[in-house]
C-alpha cells in the first residue's frame, strides 16, 4: 500500500509522442512531447524537469508505471529500461500497463464499444476492442495487426475509435455511421490515464516482477507475445 | 573482496548479444564479471538476430547488475561511477544498457562514463581476474588488433586515449568470416571455435583461398574469401532449403544446416579457410608493429582466442604479444568498467541526455600520461 503523500511516476514511450505523469491519487501533473526517435536522449531529462517544475524530488516517488505496448520496439525498450532502472535503483514497485488500455480508458463512460489503436508503421495499425460487459470493461480481442484503411471494415455496431490516427484517416472514418471519432486531443493517449490506471493497481498491491516484465511485441500480422491479461477498468 | 584502493566502477555492456555487468577497481582489478550469453537464443539462426538480442537484454539486465554487485561483495555505496558502452553496436541493444546506466546513476547520484566498445576490448588487456596476480600494464607505443564478430580494426596507440586507426575491414568482420564459413561448412555457431576445432583435424594446402591484401593498406576484406569457400563447397552440396521462411509464432528466418555429400573434406576446407583469415590478420599486424616501432602487440575481441593467430604473431615478433584471458576476449562489462577508469581520467563524463551511438568511431581523445 502506498503512503498517502507518495507519488506514482508514469512513463509512456510507446510511440514517438512520449509522455510522463506524476500522480499522488488526487493531483496529476503531465508532460508530453514529440520525442521522435530520441527517447533515449530526452526521457531522463524530462523526468527531472517534471519533478523540478512541481517542486518534487525523485525520493518522493513511491512507484513507477510504464506503458508496455504495443508500440515501437525501441521506444518501448527505452521506457522499460528507465522504469526498471528507477525501480531497481530506488527499490520501488513496477507496474506495467498495456498501451491500448490507456488509449481506451478516457472513453469508458460512453458505454459504446471502444477500438483502441496504435500506429504500427507502413500503413498498418495494431488495435484491440474493449466492451462493457456485466458491469466491467473487458478487452475482447487479442491484439490485431491490420491495414489502416481496413480498420473499420467489419464493425457491426457503433464503436469509438481512439488513438493516434492520421487526420486523413480520421476524416474518412467519421463518414461511417458505425464510427465515433473523438476530437484529436481526446483521441491520443495521455500519461495521466496511464497514471490513473496504474495507481489503482498500486493501491491493490498488484505490481509486476521487476526482472521479467517485458514489452508486448506485435510483429508482422500476428502477435508474437501473449497479450497481457485483459485489465478491467470500471467506467 | 580485495582490500586495495582505487576507483570502483560498475560497468554495463549490451552492445550485441551478451548482457553483462561487472565491477572493476582502478581500471585493473576485476571484482566481478557477470555475462549472460545469448548463444542458445541465436544458434538456430546461425548468427545474432538484432531484435531478439535487444529483447533478451530487457529481462537479463537487472539480474546481471544485481549479481555483479553481489559477486563483487560491494553495495551501491561502494560504487564511484557507472560505465556503459555507448557504441558501436546494435541500436536496440545499446539503448537498454545506456538507459539503465543513466537511470541508476541518477538514482544513486553517480557520474556516468560513456565508453567506446572498441576501447573496452583494448583495455581488457589491462585487467586481471579475481584471484589472479595483476598483469603488468602493456608498454606503449602499441598496436592492437581488435577482431570479433562485429569488428576488425588495427589500432595504433602512443599512450592512453590516443588512438590512430590504421585499418579496418571494408566488408565482413573476421569473426563474421568465421561465422559465415562455419555456416557454409555446416559446423554450427559460433563459427570461430567450430572452424578452429575442424581445422585442427585437417591439413593445410589443399585449397588455395584468396587473400585480399588491398595493396599497402592496413584494411581488411573477407567477403571474397567467403565466396571462394562457397564455390568450393557447392561441388558437394545436396539440394535442400537453407532458410525457412517465418511462419506462425516464429517471425525470424531460421537457419537450416546445409546438406553435403559425405566425402566433402570439411576439415581440410576449414584448415585452409582459417589459414587464409589468419594469414592476412597476422601479416598486417606484424607489418604495422614493425613500421610503428611498437613495444607491444595486443590482440582483443573474440577472435583473439584463435590459437593459430596467437602463434603466428608470437613467432614473427620479438616484442610481447598479449591477449586477455578467454572470458575477457568476448564481449563483457569488465572491459567497459576497466576502460572507463582511463576515460574518466580524461575528464569525460556523460549527462542524462547521453544517447546510444550505433556507429560510434574510435577517435583520439585528449592525451594524458600514465602514472
Ligand atoms: Zn565486441
Rounded Cα gap, residues B42 and B63, in angstroms? 20
Residue position matching grid coordinates 484517416: A169
Is residue B102 pLDDT above 90, yes or no? Answer: yes
Is residue B367 pLDDT above 50, yes or no? Answer: no
Q: Domains for chain A: give ranges and CATH numbers.
A: 3-99+190-222 (3.30.420.40), 100-187 (3.30.420.40)
In chain A, % helix, strand, coil (3-state, to 5) comes to: 30, 30, 40
pLDDT, averaged across chain B:
91
Q: What is the pLDDT of residues B313-360, one digit of tens each?
A: 999 999 999 999 999 999 999 999 999 999 999 999 999 999 999 999
Rounded Cα gap, residues B371 and B366, in angstroms? 16
Is residue B3 pLDDT above 50, yes or no? Answer: no
Cell reading at A38: 530520441
Is B256 exposed, middle or buried (CB count within 10 Å of its CB: 0-12, 13-18, 19+)? middle
The three-class DSSP label of residue B264 is coil
Mean pLDDT in residue range B3-27: 91
User: What pLDDT, on the 0 to 100 scale, is given for residue A199?
Assistant: 96
Residue A151: Cβ within 10 Å count: 22
Residue B78, CA distances (Å) to B1, B7, B87, B129, B295 in order: 12, 9, 27, 19, 36
Q: What is the pLDDT of residues B27-50, one digit of tens each?
A: 999 999 999 988 778 777 767 889
* B355 closest CB neighbour out of A41, A81, A212: A41
User: What pLDDT, on the 0 to 100 scale, is given for residue B43?
Assistant: 77
User: What pLDDT, on the 0 to 100 scale, is given for residue B38?
Assistant: 80
Q: Which of B279, B291, B286, B275 is nearest to B317 (CA)?
A: B286
* A44 closest CB neighbour out of B66, B106, B356: B106
Q: What is the dihedral of CA A31, A37, A41, A42, to 10 degrees?
A: -10
N residues, chain B: 371
User: What pLDDT, on the 0 to 100 scale, is given for residue B45?
Assistant: 77
Please state, for a pLDDT cut of 70, what percent of chain B lies above it. 91
Rounded Cα gap, residues B217 and B168, in angstroms? 9
The 8-class DSSP code of residue A136 comes to E
Is residue B249 pLDDT above 60, yes or no? Answer: no
DSSP string for residues in B295-310: SEEEEESGGGG-HHHH
Cell reading at A116: 483502441
The three-class DSSP label of residue B41 is helix
Question: Between residues B263 and A41, which one has the greater pLDDT?
Answer: A41
* A78 closest CB neighbour out of B76, B95, B354: B95
User: What pLDDT, on the 0 to 100 scale, is given for residue B253?
Assistant: 64
Predicted confidence band at B252 (pLDDT cuts at 50, 70, 90)?
low
Q: What is the pLDDT of residues B282-293, one digit of tens each?
A: 999 999 999 999
N residues, chain A: 235
Neighbours of ion ligand 1 (CB under 5 A): B 148, 331
Helices A73-90 and B50-72: angle between axes, nearest 10 degrees:
10
> Which string of b and e fits A52-64 if b means at least 16 CB within 10 Å?
eeeebebebbbbb
Interstrand relation of A114-121 and A124-133 (parallel, antiparallel or unpaired): antiparallel
Cell reading at B122: 583494448
Cross-chain Cβ contact B58/A215 below 8 Å: yes
Mean pLDDT in residue range B6-25: 96
User: What pLDDT, on the 0 to 100 scale, is given for residue B242?
Assistant: 54
User: What pLDDT, on the 0 to 100 scale, is given for residue A121?
Assistant: 83
User: What pLDDT, on the 0 to 100 scale, is given for residue B247?
Assistant: 56
Predicted confidence band at B103 (pLDDT cuts at 50, 70, 90)?
very high
User: What pLDDT, on the 0 to 100 scale, is given for residue A2?
Assistant: 61
Q: What is the pLDDT of residues B188-222, one digit of tens each?
A: 888 999 999 999 999 999 999 999 999 999 999 99
Rounded Cα gap, residues B282 and B307, in angstroms? 12
The three-class DSSP label of residue B24 is strand
Cross-chain Cβ contact A81/B61 below 8 Å: yes
User: What pLDDT, on the 0 to 100 scale, is given for residue B255?
Assistant: 64
| Torsion sign (Cα): B193, B196, B201, B207 | positive
User: What pLDDT, on the 0 to 100 scale, is given for residue A227?
Assistant: 37
Cell reading at B320: 610481447
Q: What is the pLDDT of residues B72-90, one digit of tens each?
A: 999 999 999 999 999 999 9
Q: What are phi and psi of B92, to 5 degrees?
A: -65, -25
Rounded Cα gap, residues B86 and B115, in angstroms? 6
Cross-chain Cβ contact A58/B249 below 8 Å: no
Is residue B371 pLDDT above 60, yes or no? Answer: no
Which residues of chain A have a Cβ shorter than 8 Å from any chain B Cβ?
Answer: 38, 40-45, 48, 58, 73-74, 77-78, 80-82, 84-86, 88-90, 210-212, 214-215, 217, 219-220, 222, 224
User: What pLDDT, on the 0 to 100 scale, is given for residue B2?
Assistant: 42
Task: Report CA(A80)–ligand 1 centroid distance (Å).
Answer: 25
Q: Let me know: does B230 contact B179? Beta carbons within 8 Å.
A: no
Given a cut of 50, the residues of chain A with pLDDT beneath it are 221-235
Amino acid at each position: 500500500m502506498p503512503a498517502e503523500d507518495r507519488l506514482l511516476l508514469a512513463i509512456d514511450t510507446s510511440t514517438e509522442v512520449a509522455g510522463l505523469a506524476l500522480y499522488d491519487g488526487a493531483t496529476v501533473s503531465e508532460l508530453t512531447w514529440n520525442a521522435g526517435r530520441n527517447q533515449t536522449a530526452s526521457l531522463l531529462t524530462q523526468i527531472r524537469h517534471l519533478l523540478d517544475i512541481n517542486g518534487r524530488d525523485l525520493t518522493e516517488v513511491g512507484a513507477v508505471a510504464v506503458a508496455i505496448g504495443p508500440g515501437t520496439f525501441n521506444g518501448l525498450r527505452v521506457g522499460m529500461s528507465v522504469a526498471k532502472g528507477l525501480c531497481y535503483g530506488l527499490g520501488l514497485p513496477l507496474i506495467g500497463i498495456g498501451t491500448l488500455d490507456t488509449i481506451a480508458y478516457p472513453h469508458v463512460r460512453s458505454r459504446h464499444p471502444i477500438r483502441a489503436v496504435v500506429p504500427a508503421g507502413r500503413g498498418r495499425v495494431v488495435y484491440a476492442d474493449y466492451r462493457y460487459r456485466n458491469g466491467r470493461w473487458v478487452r475482447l480481442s487479442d491484439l490485431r495487426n491490420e491495414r489502416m484503411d481496413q480498420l473499420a471494415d467489419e464493425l457491426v455496431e457503433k464503436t469509438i475509435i481512439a488513438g493516434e490516427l492520421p487526420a486523413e484517416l480520421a476524416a474518412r472514418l467519421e463518414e461511417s455511421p458505425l464510427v465515433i471519432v473523438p476530437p484529436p486531443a481526446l483521441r491520443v493517449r495521455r500519461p495521466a490515464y496511464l497514471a490513473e490506471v496504474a495507481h489503482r493497481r498500486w493501491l491493490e498491491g498488484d505490481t509486476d516482477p521487476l526482472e521479467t516484465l517485458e514489452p508486448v511485441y506485435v510483429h508482422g500480422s500476428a502477435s508474437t507475445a501473449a497479450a497481457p491479461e485483459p485489465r478491467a477498468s470500471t467506467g | 573482496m580485495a582490500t586495495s584502493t582505487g576507483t570502483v566502477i560498475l560497468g554495463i555492456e549490451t552492445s550485441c548479444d551478451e548482457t553483462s555487468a561487472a565491477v572493476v577497481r582502478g581500471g585493473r582489478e576485476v571484482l566481478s564479471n557477470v555475462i549472460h550469453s545469448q548463444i542458445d537464443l541465436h544458434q538456430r539462426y546461425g548468427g545474432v538476430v538484432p531484435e531478439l538480442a535487444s529483447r533478451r537484454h530487457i529481462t537479463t539486465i537487472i539480474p546481471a547488475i544485481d549479481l555483479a554487485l553481489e559477486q563483487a561483495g560491494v553495495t551501491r555505496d561502494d560504487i564511484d561511477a557507472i560505465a556503459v558502452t555507448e557504441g558501436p553496436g546494435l541500436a536496440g541493444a545499446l539503448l537498454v544498457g545506456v538507459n539503465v546506466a543513466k537511470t541508476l546513476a541518477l538514482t544513486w547520484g553517480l557520474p556516468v562514463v560513456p565508453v567506446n566498445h572498441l576501447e573496452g576490448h583494448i583495455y581488457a588487456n589491462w585487467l586481471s581476474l579475481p584471484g589472479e596476480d595483476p598483469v603488468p600494464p602493456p608498454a606503449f607505443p602499441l598496436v592492437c588488433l581488435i577482431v570479433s564478430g562485429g569488428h576488425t580494426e588495427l589500432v595504433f596507440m602512443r599512450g592512453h586515449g590516443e588512438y590512430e586507426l590504421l585499418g579496418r575491414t571494408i566488408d565482413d568482420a573476421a569473426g563474421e568470416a568465421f561465422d559465415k564459413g562455419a555456416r557454409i561448412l555446416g559446423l554450427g555457431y559460433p563459427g570461430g571455435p567450430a572452424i578452429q576445432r575442424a581445422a585442427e583435424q585437417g591439413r593445410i594446402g589443399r585449397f588455395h583461398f584468396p587473400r585480399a591484401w588491398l595493396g599497402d593498406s592496413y584494411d581488411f576484406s573477407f567477403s571474397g574469401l567467403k565466396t571462394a569457400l562457397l564455390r568450393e563447397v557447392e561441388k558437394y552440396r545436396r539440394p535442400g532449403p537453407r532458410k525457412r521462411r517465418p511462419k506462425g509464432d516464429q517471425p525470424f528466418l531460421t537457419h537450416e544446416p546445409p546438406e553435403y555429400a559425405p566425402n566433402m573434406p570439411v576439415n581440410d576446407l576449414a584448415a585452409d579457410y582459417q589459414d587464409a583469415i589468419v594469414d592476412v590478420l597476422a601479416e598486417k599486424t606484424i607489418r604495422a608493429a614493425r613500421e610503428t616501432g611498437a613495444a607491444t602487440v595486443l590482440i582483443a575481441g573474440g577472435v583473439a582466442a584463435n590459437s593459430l593467430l596467437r602463434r603466428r604473431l608470437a613467432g614473427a615478433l620479438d616484442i610481447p604479444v598479449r591477449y586477455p584471458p578467454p572470458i575477457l576476449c568476448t564481449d563483457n562489462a569488465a572491459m567497459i568498467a576497466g576502460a572507463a577508469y582511463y576515460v574518466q581520467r580524461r575528464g569525460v563524463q556523460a549527462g542524462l541526455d547521453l544517447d546510444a551511438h550505433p556507429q560510434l568511431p574510435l577517435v583520439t581523445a585528449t592525451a594524458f600520461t600514465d602514472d
